[in-house]
């Protein structure tokens, strides 16, 4: 199965400055994880389809190219004598880095100098070793959930009284909003349908509904304001 290749370093130099293209398919289209390396000295190294290491100098080459087929692509080089050699196969997900790799090789072929871009430093999680997403210093898999919650509560603490109060008021206001349907059901069942209610009863219940609505609304506004104030205080 997939074996980790050690990049073959050109024996002539001690340079470590290189550009690596990681490809993911072998000659039989089976998944692998291998790499093609272009060294600062203008030397390409990798493994041929049978697994033998190769070493090609850019000065022998005319061009490096990508040829995309259906579902897979190849990176190949054309020698100055027009011979062609496939260096590796890969899936479409490697298409872009393969193009970048060719660009660097071709630049070297044309100008005689290799421009190796600086490697992006990928930070890894110190705990699990997974690469960290760009711009993040915390690993999704390893962050301490309890610590994050504790920190959130700590931050909310100065506002807890106000937030608690506003929650209670808002809950009460929600209850008041629920009251009118109950009252109206009571009104219909007890007074209107049997036609037993007096006008005074009906007016009283209708007034109660209106009062519940108004009080609920007032409490809602009041509670929201407290909540907003507390959250503004929290955010600043």
Interface residue list for Zn ion (CB under 5 A): 125, 127-128, 139, 141-142
Indicate the residue among 125 and 183 with the shorter CB distance to Zn ion. 125
Separation in Å, CA 234 to CA 13, 157, 158, 165, 174: 59, 9, 8, 15, 25
Length of the chain equals 236
Cα first-last separation, the chain: 55
Q: Which residues neighbour 72 within 8 Å (Cβ) at sequence distance 6 or greater? A: 25, 29, 89, 90, 91, 92
Indicate the residue among 81 and 137 with the shorter CB distance to Zn ion. 137
Shortest reach from residue 145's CB to Zn ion, in Å: 13
Shortest reach from residue 148's CB to Zn ion, in Å: 14
Shortest reach from residue 144's CB to Zn ion, in Å: 11
Indicate the residue among 43 and 139 with the shorter CB distance to Zn ion. 139
Indicate the residue among 148 and 175 with the shorter CB distance to Zn ion. 148
Shortest reach from residue 120's CB to Zn ion, in Å: 19
**Spatial separation of the C-alpha atoms in residues 207 and 52, rounded to whole Å:** 92
């Amino acid at each position: 199965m997939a074996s980790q290749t050690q990049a073959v370093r050109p024996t002539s130099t001690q340079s470590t400055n290189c550009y690596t293209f990681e490809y993911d398919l072998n000659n039989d289209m089976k998944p692998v994880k291998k790499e093609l390396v272009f060294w600062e000295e203008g030397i390409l190294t990798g493994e041929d389809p049978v697994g033998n290491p190769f070493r090609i100098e850019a000065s022998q080459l005319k061009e490096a190219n990508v040829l995309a087929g259906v579902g897979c692509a190849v990176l190949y080089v054309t020698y100055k004598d027009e011979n062609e050699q496939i260096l590796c196969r890969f899936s479409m997900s490697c298409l872009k880095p393969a193009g970048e790799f060719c660009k660097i090789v071709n630049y070297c072929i044309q100008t005689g100098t290799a421009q190796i871009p600086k490697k992006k430093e990928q930070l890894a999680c110190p705990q699990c070793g997974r690469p960290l997403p760009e711009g993040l210093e915390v690993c999704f898999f390893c962050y301490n959930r309890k610590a994050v919650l504790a920190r959130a509560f700590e931050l909310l603490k100065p506002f807890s009284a106000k937030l608690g109060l506003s929650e209670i008021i808002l809950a009460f206001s929600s209850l008041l909003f629920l009251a009118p349907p109950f009252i109206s059901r009571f009104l219909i069942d007890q007074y209107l349908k049997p036609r037993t209610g007096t006008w005074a009863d009906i007016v009283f219940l209708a007034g109660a509904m209106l009062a519940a609505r108004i009080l609920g609304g007032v409490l809602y506004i009041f509670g929201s304001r407290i909540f907003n104030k507390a959250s503004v205080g929290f955010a600043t």
